[in-house]
Chains A and B, each alone.
Chain A
Amino acid sequence: MSDQYVLETQNLVKEFKGFVAVDDVNLKIQKGHIHALIGPNGAGKTTVFNLLTKFLIPTRGQILLKGEDITPLKSAAIARKGMVRSFQISAVFPHMTALENIRVALQSFEGNSFSFWKSGASLNRLNARSMELLESVGLTEFANTTTVELAYGRKRALELATTLAMEPEILLLDEPTQGMGTEDVDRVVELVRKAAQGRTVLMVEHNLGVVSKLCDRITVLAQGAVLTEGDYETVSADPRVREVYMGAGSSGERGTDAEVEAAQ
């Protein structure tokens, strides 16, 4: 049972001053799957990510990673256990070069991160591996470019490469395609597909086209609670899902609705 599911939550609850943002959520993420977490704006998707990685403390409930209760662990410790997240708002180190961004991630396993007396040149042995990772997301030629100067899509690609540098077993991606044009979206889909090999991915995604292409299983969240779960066909045919999406009526979802039709 429990080696089938790498990540589980049991009755996970998060309340903000009486407001229930995450309401009794039971997730089961199967090993090797790309699992989508979808739902209208404000459904609690990012909050679930924040709970899983302990950027927020759960009000109640448990989080199990490979059967182990990791609820009491801190964010950094969870990352070291192999569950690494990205952020909804692109998270890079803006005043470092692309290469240096990756090195920060690789360095976290080097055991020299408190060595304030060592020369910075000792980090150069991470350069080759960093270049490989940059190559894998098509950023080779930008290795020496300061990150603020990169276009948005490239920043997100860099963020993904940085996350992959951690060699995570479980990858949590919060809307990796948000704010991208179709061309960039296609690239990211390919990148995620490649990154998912040998890994488990949990991703928040508004773009149902992306979800249908990538994901093995989908959990729909509405007002903090799980509305339904299943594969793409089951979920997209569920009238309740269509209802919450249309009821939300926000810009992101209008496009999505059309895509539900297209996919059917």
Chain B
Amino acid sequence: MSQIDIQSDIQQTILKQQKIDSRRKWILNGVLLVLLLLAPFVMYPVFLMKILCFALFAVAFNLLFGFTGLLSFGHAAFLATGGYTTGYLLSNFSGLTTEMGVIAGTLMATVLGLGFALLSIRRQGIYFAMVTLALAQLVFFFFVQASFTGGEDGMHGVPRGELFGLINLEDNLNLYYVVLTVFLGCYLLVQRIVSSPYGHVLKAIKQNEPRAISLGYKVDRYKILAFVMSAALAGLAGSMKSVVFELASLNDAHWHMSGEVILMTLIGGMGTLLGPVLGATLVVNIEYQLGQGPLRDWVDPILGGIFVITVLAFRSGIVGEVQKFVRKNMG
């Protein structure tokens, strides 16, 4: 065979491989969709919506952490900003339909995300985490002091209202399918982002930043965009959460929450698509189950223990380990 033939042969193989991978991805997407469509018939919709909101939060966080390599310790700020903004608007302006409140909350988090990004993006590693944490603490104290948040008591009685002024969201099942649609839309968006030309650049930056710079990439701009998109999706998660629970509270702004989303992402598998979804599902369930029983005071130590085990023993998280196993045993 001539050199050219070999080359085109290999190219064919690569394209075939891409097709197989993409088919596998869509099968998995289909399974996920069917499960989520049927879930409210076997489980309480509000609980499911809680999972979906946290899953979206973790997916958003993972876009920055898992796919760009930036560990933010301040993502609670975006969750809370989305929640408080939406809660405040829907509570005080009865003319607003629900989606307007949610969009406004998302936009507010996006703008805040840009601010965070501009102030932190030059820092590397642990310094980046520290700057994001410090900024998020500022936001937390602002929410503690501001009167509209209700301080320690939280912001209660956020009206769910009506989608487009048409669909009654007081109905849990209606709201569930709205939340599900938003979640799936965002999930597919992130799936698209990480496999796009832009996603390839993020991968390069994550794997070897100096090399990416030396190939002519202005890496700060790529990182800022990733940060802003991540903040926007985290804000959206917070906005929906405030609609679902008719409540926005300081819990969402607390640094605990920034830690929890790291935990979810690591348990499920950072840098995988399904990992954060699975991680969020597990953490929310563990918290709920333990919170009911005699171990309720042990929730944090137990989650901490799981965190340590994950970091020490299976660093790629559940989905990451499964992927490794599949790759090893099935070619």
Q: Contacts of B192 on A, CB cut-off 8 Å?
A: 116-117, 119
8 A Cβ contacts from B1-41 to A: 3, 6-7, 10-11, 13-15, 17-18
* Closest-CB distance, A7 to chain B (whole angstroms): 16
A4 to chain B, nearest CB (A): 26
Let me know if B197 and A118 touch, CB within 8 A. yes
Tell me, yes or no, whether B204 is within 8 Å of chain A by CB: yes
Roughly how many angstroms separate A181 CA and B167 CA in the complex, as a whole number?
72
Q: Is B43 an interface residue (CB 8 A)?
A: no
Q: A99-B14, A135-B3 are in contact. Are A92 and B208 (CB under 8 A)?
A: yes
Binary interface encoding of chain A residues 105-124 relative to chain B, with 1 for a CB under 8 A from any of its CBs, else 0: 10111101111111111111
Interfacial chain A residues near B11, Cβ < 8 Å: 127-128, 131, 143
A contact residues vs B (CB 8 Å cutoff)? 53, 55, 74-77, 79-80, 84-87, 91-96, 99-100, 103-105, 107-110, 112-124, 127-128, 131-132, 135, 140-141, 143-144, 162, 166
A112 CA to B216 CA, complexed, in Å: 14
Which chain A residue lies CB-closest to B17? A144
Q: Does B328 contact A (CB under 8 A)?
A: no
Q: Which residues of B contact A (CB under 8 A)?
A: 3, 6-7, 10-11, 13-15, 17-18, 192-193, 195-201, 203-204, 207-208, 210-219, 221-222, 225, 229
Tell me whether A104 and B200 are in contact (CB under 8 A).
yes
Question: How many angstroms from the CA of A91 to the CA of B229 in the assembled complex?
Answer: 29
Say how far A78's CB is from chain B's closest CB, in angstroms. 9
5 sampled A-B residue pairs with Cβ under 8 A: A85-B214, A93-B211, A121-B18, A124-B18, A144-B10
Alpha-carbon distance between A222 and B10 when the two chains are bound, in angstroms: 48
A92-B208, A92-B211 given as contacts; is B198 within 8 A of A123 (CB)?
no
| Min C-beta distance of B10 to chain A, whole Å | 5
Give Cα A104 to B207, complex, Å: 12
Q: Nearest chain-B residue to A101 (Cβ)?
A: B204
What is the CA–CA distance of A74 and B204 in the complex, to the nearest angstrom?
Answer: 19
A124 to B15, Cβ gap below 8 A? yes
State the CA gap A155–B34 with chains docked (Å): 44
Residues of B within 8 A of A80 (CB): 216
- Contact A108:B215 (CB < 8 A) given known A96-B207, A131-B10: yes
A contact residues around B210 at 8 Å (CB): 55, 87, 91
Min C-beta distance of B218 to chain A, whole Å: 5
> Looking at the complex, which one of B10, B195, B214 makes contact with A91 (CB distance below 8 Å)?
B214
Are A105 and B215 within 8 A (Cβ)?
yes
* Complex Cα gap A214–B225 (Å): 44
The answer, among A53, A87, A123, for a CB contact under 8 Å with B200, is A123
Residues of A within 8 A of B193 (CB): 116-117
Cα(A146)–Cα(B11), bound, Å: 15
Residues from chain B with Cβ under 8 Å of A93 in the complex: 203-204, 207-208, 211
Give A121's nearest chain B residue, CB to CB: B18
CA distance A63 to B321 in the complex (A): 49
List the 6 closest pairs (A to B, CB-CB), nearest first. A79-B216, A116-B198, A120-B195, A91-B211, A131-B7, A93-B207
- Complex Cα distance, B218 from A250, in Å, reads 38
11 A-B pairs besides A79-B214, A114-B225 with CB distance below 8 A are A53-B214, A80-B216, A84-B216, A92-B211, A95-B203, A110-B197, A115-B197, A120-B196, A140-B6, A144-B14, A162-B215
Cross-chain contact A104 with B196 (CB below 8 angstroms):
no
- Chain A residue nearest in CB terms to B190: A116
- A118 and B196 form a contact (CB under 8 A): yes
Contacting residues, chain B, for A110 (C-beta < 8 A) = 197
Q: Output the least CB separation between A221 and chain B (Å).
A: 21
Residues of B within 8 A of A115 (CB): 196-198
A144 nearest CB neighbor, chain B only: B14
Minimum distance in angstroms from B162 CB to a CB of chain A: 30
CB distance from B199 to the nearest CB of A (A): 7
Closest residue on chain B to residue A134 by CB atoms: B7
Q: Which residues on the A side are within 8 Å of B18 (C-beta)?
A: 121, 124
Compute how far the CA of A94 lies from the CA of B11 in the bound complex, rounded to whole angstroms: 20
Shortest beta-carbon distance, B56 to chain A, in Å?
Answer: 18
Do residues B197 and A94 form an inter-chain contact, with CB atoms below 8 A? Answer: no
A104 touches B214 (CB 8 A): no
Contact A94 to B208, CB < 8 A, known contacts A104-B201, A117-B196: yes
- Shortest distance in angstroms between A54's beta carbon and chain B's nearest beta carbon? 9
Q: How far is the CA of A97 from the CA of B21 in the complex (A)?
A: 15
| List of B residues within 8 angstroms of A120 by Cβ | 195-197, 199-200
Residues of B within 8 A of A128 (CB): 7, 11
- Bound form: Cα–Cα A48–B13 in Å: 43
A80 to B217, CA, bound (A): 9
**Bound state CA distance, A85 and B26, in angstroms?**
40
Distance in angstroms between the alpha carbons of A239 and B7 in the assembled complex? 51
- A122 to B17 alpha-carbon distance, docked (Å): 15
**CA separation between A110 and B216, bound complex, in Å?**
12
**Chain A neighbourhood of B215, CB < 8 A:** 79, 84, 104-105, 108, 162, 166
